[in-house]
């Protein structure tokens, strides 16, 4: 699966198909090597991740490895996964910046592009309460707007993997 598909990204496609086809393994074959794309694909349900330009023999080996229950990854991608895990261990989130479960729910909805009124309705909260949670989220993440919060959310989710 490529990430840069027209219309629906490969990550979104895997996210939609994996629950419907839980026995299916998805391997990404893409030009994207950045940490955000890698972890988004893995969180969505991809089992392997190779970068385009990999030799044909490596692709064939990766398909066999995937079929045998492995998780093939390009060495540069494996390095990124290890780097992120080590960084997460070195930089634990301080208690004063840790989001509550409710704040995480609000932030997750915000990162999906939901409006404040929609978040309130989805979570059974008042609009005022949603605004208060968002204010606390912005303070804890040291951001000033929705896009900054969404980016921090993606980084936060990546560091948990």
Predicted confidence (pLDDT) per residue in 104-120, tens digit: 899 888 888 889 999 99
Residue 157's pLDDT is what? 59
Residue 90's pLDDT is what? 66
For residues 132 and 157, which has the higher predicted lDDT (pLDDT)? Answer: 132
Q: Residue 95: is its pLDDT beyond 60?
A: no
User: Exposed, middle or buried: residue 123 (CB in 10 Å: 0-12, 13-18, 19+)?
Assistant: middle
Overall average pLDDT of the 26-39 stretch: 88
User: Exposed, middle or buried: residue 74 (CB in 10 Å: 0-12, 13-18, 19+)?
Assistant: buried
Residue 56's pLDDT is what? 93
Overall average pLDDT of the 72-92 stretch: 77
Region label for 33, one of left (φ > 0), alpha (ψ between -120 and 50) or beta (otherwise) = alpha
Band of residue 76 on the pLDDT scale cut at 50, 70, 90: confident
Q: Residue 147: is its pLDDT beyond 80?
A: no
Contact between 137 and 106 under an 8 Å Cβ cutoff? The reply is: yes
Long-range contacts formed by 37-42: CB under 8 A, 24+ apart? 37/3, 37/11, 38/77, 38/80, 38/81, 39/84, 39/157, 39/158, 39/161, 40/11, 40/154, 40/158, 41/3, 41/10, 41/11, 41/14, 42/81, 42/161
Query: What domains appear along the chain, each with residue ranges and CATH number?
Result: 10-90 (3.40.50.2300), 95-160 (1.10.10.10)
Query: What percent of the chain stands above pLDDT 90?
Result: 42
């Amino acid at each position: 699966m490529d990430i840069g598909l027209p219309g629906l990204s490969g990550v979104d496609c895997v996210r939609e198909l994996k629950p419907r086809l839980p026995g299916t393994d998805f391997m990404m074959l893409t030009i994207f090597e950045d940490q955000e794309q890698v972890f988004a694909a893995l969180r969505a349900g991809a089992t392997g991740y190779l970068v385009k330009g990999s030799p044909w023999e490596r692709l064939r080996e990766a398909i066999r490895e995937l079929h045998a229950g492995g998780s093939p990854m390009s060495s540069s991608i494996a390095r990124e996964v290890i780097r992120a895990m080590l960084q997460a261990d070195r930089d634990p989130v301080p208690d004063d910046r840790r989001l509550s479960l409710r704040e995480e729910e609000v932030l997750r909805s915000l990162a999906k592009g939901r409006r404040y009124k929609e978040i309130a309705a989805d979570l059974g909260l008042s609009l005022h309460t949603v605004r208060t949670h968002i204010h606390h989220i912005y303070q804890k993440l040291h951001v000033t707007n929705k896009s900054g919060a969404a980016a921090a959310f993606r980084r936060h989710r990546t560091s948990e993997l």
